[in-house]
Structure 1
Amino acid sequence: MSARHRVQNPEPAAQQPRGGRAAKGAAVGNCRSDDHARAHRLPAFLLVATLLAGAACRSQAPPGPDVWAVVNGKEIRREEVEKLYRSQLALDQPPPPHEQALSMKLAILDELINNEILLERARKLGMEATDGEVEDKFIEMKAPYTEEEFQRQLRERELTVEDLKRDLRRQLTVQKVFNREVFSRVSVSDQEIAEFYEQNREQFNVREPQYRIAQIVVTPRPDPGLRNRKGDDATTDAEARRKAASLLQQIQAGADFNQLAMDYSEDPTTASTGGDLGYIPESALNNTDPAVKRIITGMRPGEVSNVVGMGGTYRIFKMVAREAAGQRQLEDVRTKEFICDTLRNRKEQLLRAAFLTIAREEARVTNYLARQVLESAGKLPASSSPAPAAGAPGGTTPPPQP
């Protein structure tokens, strides 16, 4: 969370008369004496300003090397920023260069500043997230992982369950504030939807057939990145065949396709969404096996395929919806929903930015990290605690380092 001080606007300077020298000459008697008086007053004014500036600088000294910002008297410490920074790094990628790492940390701190301002507002309004809400969100977030995988993710990012729940509480509370102060003000009228459609008709011209497909994927290989809710993972070809056949039987007996995908699909990118691949243009199917394309294009909405061997995996497809080529009409439910969502998002982003600007103007904020980075020409401030080893996720020694 960054800090921005409210700065009182200086008194507006007296407006200079037009005409330069001619205007000066208008006050013949007082011109010389006024200039002379100003000349004598100026050094004293500068001296006072210098003393005040020095006092201000001294008052802004950070409480300690590990305090990176203060928001309405509450400290935001280096440790919190560093921990969030490490959690955002890609585990399989080298750490970013020094300047990029500092930019990321400044952005994280800025977000923490915003959050703290909103959290204080939530406390005053009695809108903090409850323990039950936090626990529900925690269970939902943990669901796609096995316990072992979940704990491994925490260790690799140097987080604890308490860290995670604290962050969830903060997110849920901030969302409540936005819902009340910003999003509740947003509405989209039928007239706005119609105007958007008329101004963007070409955008709703579907040039080729599209298919909305869901899938369940089973692989014959163990996958440490497995994301399904049951943690179910076939490890041999025979196991994969049996698992796929069993899932198909359950679907044919009336089991919900999406729930089975979330529980058993071994595709890490679609299991959590019930196997949904979204709308796929017909031309994109040209990159798949011709037999698979024939199966998909020949299915009707709601229909489920048999088990299909594809690229060393076993898949079951479901045709969720089909869309023919041609102009989508405004009366189409999907068209209206898309336009409404687009306009709502635009308004929400605008009002959110305005709300945050006002909230920060009303807060007492000091961003010590930003000041120190500027004053040191881009170096990370020293810490009172031991720094991470060079090359470690939190390290600051030039390349390779965050």
Structure 2
Amino acid sequence: MKTKLTDCMRPLLLGALFLGTAAQAEVKPLDRVVAIVDNDVIMQSQLDARVREVQQTIAKRGAAVPPENVLDDQVLERLIIENIQLQIGDRSGIRITDEELNQALGTIAQRNGMSLEQFRAALAKDGLSYADARDQVRREMIISRVRQRRVAERIQVTDQEVQNFLASDLGKLQLSEEFRLANILIPVPEAASPATIQTAERQAQDIYQQLQKGADFAQLAIARSASETALEGGEMGWRKAAQLPPPFDAMLGALSVGEVTEPMRTPGGFILLKLLEKRGGGTQVRDEVNVRHILIKPSEIRSEAEAKRLIERLHQRIRAGEDFAELAKSFSEDPGSALNGGSLNWIDPGVLVPEFREVMSNTASGEISKPFQSPYGWHVLQVMGRRATDSSAEFREQQALNLLRNRKYDEELQTWLRQIRDEAYVETKL
């Protein structure tokens, strides 16, 4: 499926001063600060640009656009959360090189069946500048790496959890079916009073009643939801039931496409889910790759540049004939594979981050890749072999591990976003 350009890009327009005609000597500044976020600000021009984009997206879906003040509040909150994460990235020394950015834009163009020049032309046709597109992709890459470092690396799934999941009825179900979902979240603060919880529950029940009477789910999500996907009409994409907190995992199996769950209490608040599509079923032959790698992570005492230089030296030593496995045991900072000489064994490419998966797919069996970067740090990898396999016990374990990690990631991400929002100094001036 091709990715829509407007879904890939959310360009931010820089603040500007517009001058009147020559007869009007007066300068009319139209930009202003709409929010102070820690050590940065959000400008009215940024808010206006994002609001226009969201309005266009909603209109393309054929949904009614919420009132302007409601949309402004939702979009501004999204910009605040993004800004906080970008500042965390800056303090952590996360930088996106021009080479990485060019590669990401080339990948986006390729996914849309275009050359880079055609991609530039398509952006211009949509009223988007290539410079703004680059800036937005850079921002999204930084946010992705911040989340990987602050959220994903804290998640641990034990072997016992994997085995318990595989033995459960739900685990067996997940091998055959998955769901495309949308959600609406009515948040509940940590340590909320009973009165606050009751108010949130009443709001969620009111939304549920409106939906039962035929209200548009996407429009209500845009206007009322506090979920990170609110401005996309609550669209979450495809999920296995195991990725969702109970009792939604069991409820979804009984839902028909188009139906909505009743509001359920979760750590983040009250959530309603709409089932948009179902798919899956049957055994499928899957490609697996036997790969090993060495990971070098930037840290408080090692900059991105120093991590890059170290992986380049290790790459040269491997090329010069030193043993890959021994170097991985000595230097790799991936605790799951270092003791095994960097081996990830036979693995489904789909469970790997895109940067790793792309380099792996372009590396022939027996060959060693050039150093490359992912959200986890700097890698060099070697492809040991490729095979096609059915849903073997090994694959099912890997699939279960991935599902459980995704479930924990979704829950941890919402908690972390709420935490950094509460800890930040934010002053809005709408």
**Same fold, judged at TM 0.5 (above):** no
Higher relative contact order (CA 8 A, sep 6+): 1
What's the TM-score once normalised by structure 2's chain length? 0.39
Please tell me whether Structure 1 or Structure 2 has the larger radius of gyration of its CA atoms: 1
Q: Which has the higher strand share?
A: 2
